[in-house]
């Protein structure tokens, strides 16, 4: 596909991305938390833009926003594409919003050039993915897929004591024209920045995601005995911090031995009483462990638990490990991934198959429909930061790949019930 072809839709996408970035709370970067005024204005803006583009614009009961391009085959099935609209505090303008802007732009472009598709295409801006305001994640796609049933809204509060239910009721987007969960989605495609450094370091334009890693998160508490730092002999101590430090280093050694793609991190550490002249009596810390294979993830977690128990016994401290999150790996659809690779070859783009170490809405859709993810590079691997950046030409490349796949899914004849055609035309070279 020539640069002249992509120029118009790419410029439109960049314009929409910039418009979305303006809907932010004061401060560095972009802060757009679920059910805040900034969030509501951004979702309403998308509804307006979708309607102006000739798409059927609507929202559901939790605030997911859609733009529908209705197909001529009214079989009730939908090919969905998009991402999330919310951000972390002081985040960047590309995470989530890029996939949203690209999805709405792609459908408008396909409609203007090719008219109605055979199969209905929809762009979605999911209400929430990050968990930045309330202590749960994937509220938008979780309601679409049935992971949540809506009753959870009364159980979660933000830092100000506002319940999710109260915040949601204060941010209604007019008449809701869809209910959740949905059973009509036949395929889902998500375009996203990598949020890592692999594509940039390897010089690749496109990442074709093979799987999203599974995660285990633990809250670990080590209890020893707080005592005087000057009068307690080294051999008679029950030092919670020394024990915790050995545990964390042992986990790191085990992770290095396990090798890629496994990663293990301690991100939070709280020491009590945290006084210079007192032996720490209690330490609380977190574990974040990720792998793309369930069996490997389980085996590693078991080895960590065993190692921690051995250290605790030897150092005479009490150990408590509470599992806080258990998310299974989410393989992407092999057929759609193969189509993405073929598109990259047709367009003359470099690409690589890769595992996503970050969570995405796609992992909730993957068990329920054919799902694919497309990555573009992140400069310096930086994300969740005002410094988050991807050059416009790389954003345009991702859009071009997305448009090509949506054309195949929406417009071409198929012997496989409405998804990928057996004979691919050389339309996107």
In the annotated binding site for allantoate, the residues are 217, 277, 290
pLDDT tens-place string over residues 183-216? 999 999 999 999 999 999 999 999 999 999 999 9
Whether residues 110 and 242 share a domain: the answer is no
- Residue 5, pLDDT above cutoff 80: no
DSSP string, 196-217: SSHHHHHT-SEEEEEEE-EEEE
In the annotated binding site for Zn(2+), the residues are 84, 95, 130, 192, 384
Whether residues 206 and 219 share a domain: the answer is no
Alpha helix positions (H), 176-325: 198-202, 240-258, 294-315
In this structure, what CATH number is given to the domain that contains residue 373? 3.40.630.10
Burial class (CB in 10 A: 0-12, 13-18, 19+), 307: middle
Q: Which residue has the higher pLDDT, 5 or 299?
A: 299
Whether residues 108 and 221 share a domain: the answer is no
Whether residues 256 and 174 share a domain: the answer is no
Whether residues 276 and 343 share a domain: the answer is no
Whether residues 319 and 378 share a domain: the answer is no
Whether residues 27 and 172 share a domain: the answer is yes
Angle, helices 37-52/97-114, rounded to nearest 10 degrees: 10
Residue 4's pLDDT band (boundaries 50, 70, 90)? very low
In this structure, what CATH number is given to the domain that contains residue 259? 3.30.70.360
In a domain, 219, yes or no: yes
Rounded Cα–Cα distance for residues 134 and 131 (Å): 6
Beta strands in 104-180 (DSSP E): 120-126, 176-178
Do residues 138 and 62 lie in contact, with contact meaning Cβ atoms separated by under 8 Å?
A: no
Q: What share of the chain is helix, strand, coil (3-state, %, to 5)?
A: 35, 25, 40
How many structural domains does the chain have? Answer: 2
Rounded Cα–Cα distance for residues 399 and 98 (Å): 9
Of 327, 349, 381, the last residue of a domain is: 327
Whether residues 265 and 238 share a domain: the answer is yes
In a domain, 429, yes or no: no
Whether residues 278 and 389 share a domain: the answer is no
pLDDT tens-place string over residues 108-131? 999 999 999 999 999 999 999 999
Whether residues 238 and 206 share a domain: the answer is no
Mean pLDDT for 403-422 is: 75
* Domain range for 140: 3-213+330-411
In the annotated binding site, the residues are 84, 95, 130, 192, 217, 277, 290, 384
Whether residues 196 and 318 share a domain: the answer is no
pLDDT tens-place string over residues 49-107? 999 999 999 999 999 999 999 999 988 899 999 999 999 999 999 999 999 999 999 99
Whether residues 208 and 223 share a domain: the answer is no
């Amino acid at each position: 596909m020539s640069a002249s072809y992509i120029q118009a839709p790419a410029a439109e996408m960049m314009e929409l991305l910039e418009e979305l970035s303006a809907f932010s709370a004061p401060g560095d970067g972009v802060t757009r938390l679920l059910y805040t005024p900034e969030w509501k204005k951004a979702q309403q803006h998308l509804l307006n833009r979708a309607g102006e583009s000739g798409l059927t614009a609507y929202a559901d009961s939790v605030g997911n926003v859609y733009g529908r391009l209705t197909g001529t085959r009214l079989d009730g099935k939908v090919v969905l594409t998009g991402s999330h609209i919310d951000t972390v505090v002081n985040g960047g303008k590309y995470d989530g919003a890029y996939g949203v802007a690209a999805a709405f732009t792609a459908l408008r472009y396909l409609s203007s050039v090719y008219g109605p598709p055979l199969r209905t295409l929809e762009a979605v801006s999911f209400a929430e993915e990050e968990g930045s305001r309330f202590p749960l994640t994937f509220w938008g796609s979780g309601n679409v897929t049935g992971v949540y049933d809506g009753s959870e809204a009364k159980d979660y509060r933000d830092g100000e004591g506002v319940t999710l239910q109260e915040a949601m009721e204060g941010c209604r987007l007019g008449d809701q024209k869809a209910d959740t969960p949905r059973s009509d989605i036949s395929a889902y495609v998500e375009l996203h920045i990598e949020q890592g450094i692999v594509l940039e370091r390897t010089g690749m334009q496109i990442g074709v995601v093979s799987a999203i890693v599974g995660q285990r998160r633990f809250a670990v508490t080590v209890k020893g005995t707080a005592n005087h730092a000057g009068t307690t002999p080294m051999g008679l101590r029950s030092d919670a911090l020394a024990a915790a430090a050995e545990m964390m280093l042992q986990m790191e050694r085990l992770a290095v031995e396990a090798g890629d793609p496994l990663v293990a991190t301690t991100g939070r550490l709280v020491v009590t009483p945290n006084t210079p002249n007192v032996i720490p009596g209690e330490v609380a810390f977190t574990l974040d462990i990720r792998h793309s294979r369930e069996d490997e993830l389980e085996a590693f977690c078991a080895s960590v638990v065993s190692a921690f128990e051995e250290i605790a016994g030897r150092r005479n401290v009490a150990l408590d490990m509470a599992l806080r999150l258990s998310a299974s790996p989410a393989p992407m659809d092999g057929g759609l991934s193969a189509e993405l690779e073929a598109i990259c070859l047709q367009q003359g783009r470099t690409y690589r198959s890769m595992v996503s170490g970050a969570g995405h809405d796609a992992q909730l859709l993957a068990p329920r429909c054919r799902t694919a993810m497309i990555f573009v590079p992140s400069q310096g691997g930086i994300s969740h930061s005002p410094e988050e950046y991807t050059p416009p030409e790389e954003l345009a490349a991702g859009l071009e790949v997305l448009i090509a796949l949506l054309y195949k899914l929406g417009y071409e004849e198929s012997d496989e019930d409405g998804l990928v055609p057996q004979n691919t035309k050389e339309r996107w070279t």
